[in-house]
Every structure is written in structure tokens, then in C-alpha cells.
Chains A and B, each alone.
Chain A
């Protein structure tokens, strides 16, 4: 008998013989009953933007046509010198193309090789990482990132500035809706991360401070049909 068997035997002995998985808690019912009236896409954008700003993220709402040039201008203004990104996403390619064409001073660092080959460089020399969120959650001001070859985990984590793009039509009302509509449980990525602002801590005398170990700053671009045009 190993530890596993002993632990499981102890737990089993404590339960009635007829023990089954029935009477699951009514989670879906709870969220159906406690969800407010359906929001329009515009309302979700407004809520997401408001909550992200309250969490110290900077938010740009822009149209499909305009976002890339608005972001390029903003990156230049923030003094971003070295930007890591993955060009396997459409927006990643778009941004890379724009930045290469412009005579700006941003150096692009494609995240296209295993982290081991440039770990120290990534930690020490990269100013910003550009990511595309898989979706977002309006109720809590949250972006969702699912790891994949095109979405390395550390791109949204290691550089001091995290630049994240989210498409307005992917914003869900709340977390339960996101999990249900995207069927998270059916195909979990190796790492699904929900991000609700730049990193922070209140560990010193309950005083809120930003830039703990993750990104110090977060810049979110919400791409929306209703957004600002260039």
C-alpha cells in the first residue's frame, strides 16, 4: 500500500457506500438568475475600458483601420525602444509591418524561438511585449490569453510594458459567459491567463503599489467598429 492507496482508502471509508456524483451545484442557474439585462457591444466596451482604467491600465479604443497607426504613435510617445511580439497573429503582422515601414526607433524582437535561447535578453532588454487577447470579460475588466505557439506565456508577463489588443466582439459580459460560450473546459490550453491590469501588490502596510513582478504598465487597445479613426 502506498500513500495514494492509503489516502484514498481513508476517504472512501468515510463516505457512504452509495456515493455518486449527482446533485451537482446549480452554477448555470445562479448565473442565469443573477445576470443583468444583456449589454450591447458598446456597453461592454465601455465597462471593460472603465474597469481597466480603474486598475491603472491605459486604454485606447480604435477602429479596425486606425488602431495600428494610433498604437505606433503611442509606443513612440512612451519611448518604447525594443518591442517583442509574435507575428503569427494577424494583428502582430500588421503592427510589425507598420513599425518597420515607419522610420521610428522601435526595434522589433520576434518571439519565434524557445525562451531558453534568449531568456536573459528578454528579461533585461525588452521594453514591451505585444499580445492579442483571445477574449475579454466586461464585468471584471479582464483580458483572456490562451497559450499557444503564437501566444507565448511570457510575452504578457516579462516585459515591463504589456501591450494587449482585444477585439470588441470578443468581450463577454462576465466570466461564466466567457467559459460557457468559448467552451473552455472542452479544450484547455496549457496556460489560460486572465489579466486585469498591470501587476500590483498591497503587501507593504496595505499600500497599493504597481509594478510588483509582472508588467509595470499595461496598454490595452480595444479594436471596435465604433472606435476612434485616425
Chain B
């Protein structure tokens, strides 16, 4: 098998349809109510965790410093992590693409004669569409995070990176469980629903050949994978089956254990408004001689899948500071109105808008950087201070750039939104404002010919009256006023 195959980027549905899907989402009142309620809830929970503005800002400074330090030393840290994990008995694998990561995991599964995989929550595994890949090859993947389980049962995809089933009401889930799980009565009681999920999934932890999980932070100096969760499914997935496979993006490593402590605090408080989650699960190796449980084999798959493209550019590198708390989406006015599915990518919301172009290329994500009013709410809450609006503008520029233009770090899909007409308009505009004589002619013409302003002005006139130049330019009015005063 060639590793150079340029397969179609893996995605849920073509993100090129973003505009159509956002229209549908906006017209779905129930969906909008669900998201509005959920976003208000999560925002409230977060702000209650940060009562002291000073403490928050200092901690954000520290979080940003830790992530920047890690990225500045990324190649060394990845090597150190590999060395340390290997010394601890963990097998480390590297994957440049989603296809490679899937093949590695499939290879491990085949080698162990595995038939079933129980999964803790992992967005990286969503990104590579592992469930489908293994499913097509006769290996069943079962999601065990309650939200992920609901979404899998409904044959859907997560609509939020932290709360995967946030688009569903308890009524939706009651109906789903009633229909999909044998002998399940309809109940909207959340405690009962959770117990149904628990009961249904419990035996799968016993039977599964492989447990698969994501990773929240990796520590280079100790060779440790740090997992954050509330349900215990992550611990069960990484403890009970004989083989544990973890998958993580290459950006998640930090140098020292002590550096994760502020990040973990920022993560749980920003994500779900918890001072700490029920479990912080720090895995540093398989079962040692004398120990009575724990997996006998632990694997880590390090996934690039476009991240190194963001890394190559000093400005876009900040994208990789992300610790996946989801606060940016919880505070985004666009996400709150559209929900996660409209984006068509694994990572929705502001973080999705800045990471997806690297994972999938701008050809398939060209509209995402424009789905923002640049209000800045995301950057204001980001626990590691990613300048999201600045990166959105940069990606818009790259999407508009002439595909033929040679630049230092060419992005995949450069010029996906390039339009010669638009470029000419901007060129004229820039020229007119840079040369006073040209601007004078432009003013003279624009005010005289105002009656000929087009009645259809693309997106603008869909919801607004057409723009028309004024009868007199501001320059003229000011000149007159000055004249009158003298």
C-alpha cells in the first residue's frame, strides 16, 4: 500500500455545502432552542469558575506560555516522549495521514485477532473516521462516552467537541433508546436513561479486545498520557481490555508534568465549568510484573494529518496551542445559532474554522473562515489566548490568494475562493485610495452616476436595501463647510 495516496479528504459531508446547511440550521427552531439553552448553560458554568478576573488572566498567561513553549520545542519533545514511552513499554507509531493512522490501528487489531473495540472519547478518532474504517473491515467499534454513544446509536456525528450529543433533548434520547435498545421502555428521566446506557455498555468493557482512547495532554519527561473525563468510561477503556491504543495529534505534548497542572485547570473550568473532572487518568505504561490488572500492551498513535502545515507558518502555528475545551464555540454567536453539524467538519465552531483548513485543505473548507463576524468573543475566552479572529482573517486571505502566487508557506487549497473580478475590484479600490487624483475622479463619477448603482448587490441585497452612493461625497461636504467657516 502506498503512503502517498491522495485520497479524498475524509469528512462528514462536503463542507462546501456550508451555506446551504447553515440556512437549514437557521430555519430549525428546535435545534436553535437546544443550542441556545446549552450555550447559555455552559457560559454560566464557565464564568462561575472564574470569579477572580486577575487569577483568570494570570492563569491564561501561564497556559499560553506553556503551550507556546511546547510548540517551540515540538520536534525535541515528540522525540523525548517517544523515548520515554518506549522505555515505559509503550509502543509509539507515527501517522502522517488519516489513512495511515487507520491502517496502523487496524494492523494492531488484526495482529491480536480483535473483533471488538470499546472506545473512550477521542476526537482524533472521529477525525480519521476510525469507526467506519474498522467497521468496513469487520471490527466493531462501540462508543462508550454517553454522548458519543447516543450519537453513534443515532448514526450521527458529534455536534460539539466536549458535549457530543448537545443537539439532542432528553426526549430525543428517550425515543432513540426506546427504539434502538431492545426491551427499553420510553423514559425521559435522565437518571434512568444514563442507567440504561450504563447497563447496555457494561458487558462490552469486559468483552472488548481493545480499548481505544484519545489523549488530552502527553508529558515528554515522564512518558505519560493524561486523560480527562467524568464518566469512568475512559478509565474502563484504558484499564480493562488487554490492549490499549491511544491516539493523539502531534501538538498535544508538553515538556513537564508540572506544566500540565495549569492547563488541566484551564481545560475543565473553561469546558464544562468544573474545578476538576471526576477523573484525571495518567497512564505511563502497561501492566508491570506483579500488577494484577491494566492492559498488557499500550500503543500510542501520533497523528499529523495536516497539523504540520499549520506549524510551518509562524502565525498559523498558534492554532496548535488549542487544548480543545470548546469555550470558543460556547461563546460564538455563529455556533450558537447554527449548531455544530452545519460546519460539516469534525471540529465545529471557531476552533474548527481555524484547524479544519489544515486538516482538509481550503478547497473543502473555503467558506468556514468567513462564517464569523470577527466579534472576538472566542479570543476573549480562549484559555491559551489563540488569536482566533486574526487567524480567520489570515485564512480568508489565503483562500483569496491567487493560486499561482508563490509564497513561503503554501496552504493546501490556496486560492480556493480566488476570483479575478474580486481581485480587480480590490486592486482598483486600493489604487483609488492611494492616489488623490484618481480618488477625485472616482468621487466625481460615483456621485454623478449614483442612479446607475445596481439594484442586485449579491449577498448584501438578500436582506437589505441596495447601497447607493450619496449625492455629494464627504470630501465635498467638508470642503464646503470649511469654505463657509472662512
Contact = CB atoms under 8 A, between A and B. Distances in A.
Contacts of A8: 75, 78-79
Interface string A17-37: 001110111111011001000
A207 B166 CA distance: 11
B67 to A, nearest CB: 9
A203 B150 contact: yes
Contacts of A201: 146-147, 194, 230-231
B235 A157 contact: yes
Contacts of B444: none
Contacts of B308: 7, 10-11, 14
B96 interface: yes
For the complex of A and B, list the 7 residue pairs with the smallest distance between their C-beta atoms, beginning with the closest: A214-B232, A212-B231, A203-B147, A199-B232, A25-B65, A115-B293, A203-B146
A21 B294 contact: no
Contacts of B261: 27, 31, 175-176, 179
Interface in B189-232: 190-191, 193-195, 197-198, 201-203, 205-206, 219, 221-224, 230-232
A139 B314 CA distance: 38
A104 interface: no
Interface string A53-90: 00100000000000000000000000000000000000
Nearest to A14: B312
Given A149-B291, A200-B231, A176 B279 contact: no
Contact of B190 (A13, A191, A207): A207
Contacts of B235: 153, 157, 193, 214
Contacts of A40: none
Given A7-B96, A23-B69, A119-B240, A13 B312 contact: yes
B31 interface: no
B265 to A, nearest CB: 8
Nearest to B149: A203
Interface of A: 2-4, 6-8, 10-15, 19-21, 23-28, 30-31, 34, 51, 55, 111-115, 119-120, 123, 139-142, 147-149, 152-154, 157-158, 175-176, 179-180, 184-185, 188-207, 209-215
A199 B278 CA distance: 6
Given A14-B312, A193-B280, A207-B170, A114 B150 contact: no
A184 B226 CA distance: 13
20 contacts: A11-B311, A14-B314, A26-B62, A27-B256, A27-B262, A51-B275, A149-B290, A157-B236, A176-B258, A185-B221, A185-B257, A190-B287, A191-B284, A196-B276, A201-B146, A201-B230, A204-B150, A206-B38, A211-B194, A213-B205
Given A14-B311, A179-B258, A193-B279, A204 B55 contact: no
B239 A21 contact: no
Contacts of B163: 202-203, 206
Given A189-B284, A213-B198, A149 B292 contact: yes
A152 B282 CA distance: 14
B72 interface: yes
B311 A114 contact: no
Contacts of A195: 278-279
A120 B233 CA distance: 17
A184 B283 contact: no
Given A112-B292, A147-B294, 13 more contacts: A3-B304, A7-B250, A11-B311, A14-B312, A20-B73, A26-B62, A27-B262, A55-B278, A115-B292, A123-B203, A192-B284, A196-B276, A205-B190
B433 interface: no
A182 B146 CA distance: 35
B414 interface: no
A140 B280 CA distance: 12
Contacts of A184: 222, 257
B77 to A, nearest CB: 9
Contact of A34 (B3, B55, B79, B259): B55
**Looking at B166, B173, B257, B288, which has the most chain A CB atoms within 10 Å of its CB?**
B257
Given A147-B291, A195-B279, A30 B198 contact: no
Contacts of A21: 73, 76, 255
Contacts of B365: none
A207 B170 CA distance: 9
B294 A204 contact: no
A205 B257 CA distance: 34
Contacts of B150: 203-204
B3 to A, nearest CB: 7
A114 B293 contact: yes
A53 to B, nearest CB: 14
A200 B311 contact: no
A2 B239 CA distance: 31
A209 B284 contact: no
Given A112-B292, A209-B191, A15 B72 contact: yes
**Looking at B73, B96, B282, B293, which has the most chain A CB atoms within 10 Å of its CB?**
B293
Contacts of B164: 203
Contact of A3 (B62, B94, B265): B94
A197 to B, nearest CB: 5
Contacts of A113: 292
**Looking at A12, A15, A34, which has the most chain B CB atoms within 10 Å of its CB?**
A15
Nearest to B64: A25
B293 A27 contact: no
B62 A27 contact: yes
Contacts of A199: 230-232, 278-279
B440 interface: no
Contacts of A115: 240, 292-293
A149 B289 CA distance: 8
B232 A215 contact: yes
